[in-house]
Amino acid sequence: EDKVVQSPLSLVVHEGDTVTLNCSYEVTNFRSLLWYKQEKKAPTFLFMLTSSGIEKKSGRLSSILDKKELFSILNITATQTGDSAIYLCAGNAGNNRKLIWGLGTSLAVNP
């Protein structure tokens, strides 16, 4: 059965800390892995990663996928209170674009 597991489920840090969020996946006909940030409402897209292993970066956020270990990490450096959110990871399976979602990591950044 396809599954995506995120860890930790919740995390509390202080502003300025660096955090690493984890996502392991077992997805049949794996195409890509997606990271989203969800604050109060709709998840917003962060990164899409494929088996190419190329690291993606956007400002203080970066992410990479290890196709051998079936694992991805999302790094956030110099965290800010605005980074507080739920971070969702999802695996894209097969040709129907259906995503397999993890439960998310709830990140709280305290001033």
Point out which span in 15-23, 63-71, 74-82, 98-106 binds other proteins (CB under 8 A).
98-106
- 50, 94, 108 from 87: Cα distances, Å: 18, 23, 11
CB of 32 to other proteins, least distance (A): 8
CB of 97 to other proteins, least distance (A): 5
CA 45/CA 57 separation, integer angstroms = 13
Question: CA 96, 98, 103: angle at the middle one, nearest 5?
Answer: 170
Compare residues 19 and 43 and give the one whose CB is closer to other proteins. Answer: 43
Query: By CB under 8 A, is residue 12 in contact with other proteins?
Result: no
- 1, 45, 99 from 94: Cα distances, Å: 13, 20, 9
How many CB atoms sit inside 10 A of residue 43's CB?
18
- In the region spanning residues 29 to 68, those forming contacts with other proteins, defined by CB under 8 A, are 34, 36, 41-45, 48
- In the region spanning residues 64 to 93, those forming contacts with other proteins, defined by CB under 8 A, are 88, 90
User: Using CB under 8 A as the criterion, which residues of the chain lie in contact with other proteins when the complex forms?
Assistant: 34, 36, 41-45, 48, 88, 90, 96-99, 101-104
